[in-house]
Amino acid sequence: MATVYILTNQSMPGLIKIGITERKVEERMRDLYSSSAVPLPFECYFALEVKDAKLVEKKIHHGFDDYRINENREFFEIDPDKAKSILSLVDGVEVTPKTDVVDNATDQQALDKQRNKQRFNFASVGISPGEILEFKKDKTITAKVLNDDKIEFEGNPMSLSPAALIVIHRMGYEWTKIAGPQFWCYKGKTLYELSSN
C-alpha cells in the first residue's frame, strides 16, 4: 500500500501539495525539502495509507483541477481541510506524522520563527469582541474573541496559536508550534481563509 499526502509549507501560504509515496511520508517530505528551492521544511496536514493510491491521487487532482497552479505540478490553491475532507472519504489508515519533520535545529528554528510571524488581527477581517470561534477539527471546541488579537479559551485569555496547540496536543499530536489562524474558524471559514480574501 502507498500513501496519499497533503502537505503545506509556511513559505507558500495558501498552497498545498497533494501527492503519493510508497515510502514513509516523512522520507518523502525530507526529499521534497532537500531537492527543492523552498526555504522551509514541508508540514504534513494529512496522510492516508490506501490500497490504490495512484487512482485516489488522480481522482483528487481531477476534482481540484480548477485550483491547480500549474498542470505539471501537484500544487493547489485550496484550504488543506477541504482536501482532507475528500481524502478522508477513502478507506485507509491515517499516517499523518505527529511531530515536525526536520533534520536539524536550524530548520526547526526557521519553521517556528515563520509560524510566530503569523499574528492575526480580528478587526482587520471585521470580527468583533464577543464573537465565537470554532476549532476546525472539532466544531464543539469553541473560543470567544476578546480583542484584536486575543481569545478566551477555557476561561483563560490567550492568543490563537497557544490555544490551538492545547487542543492539538489533546488530539495526540506532538507539534511544538502551530499556526492558530489555520485551525480556528468563524462562520464556517478558517481565519486564514478570511484574512486571505
**C-alpha torsion sign, points 79, 83, 84, 85:** positive
Reply yes or no on whether the pLDDT at 117 is more than 70: no
For 120-144, the pLDDT digits (tens) are: 789 888 999 999 999 998 999 999 9
Name the grid cell of 2: 502507498
- Is pLDDT of 14 > 70? yes
Q: What is the mean pLDDT of residues 28-43?
A: 89
Pairing of strands 43-50, 75-76: unpaired
pTM for the whole structure: 0.66
Q: Could you tell me the residue ranges of all domains in the chain?
A: 2-116, 120-196
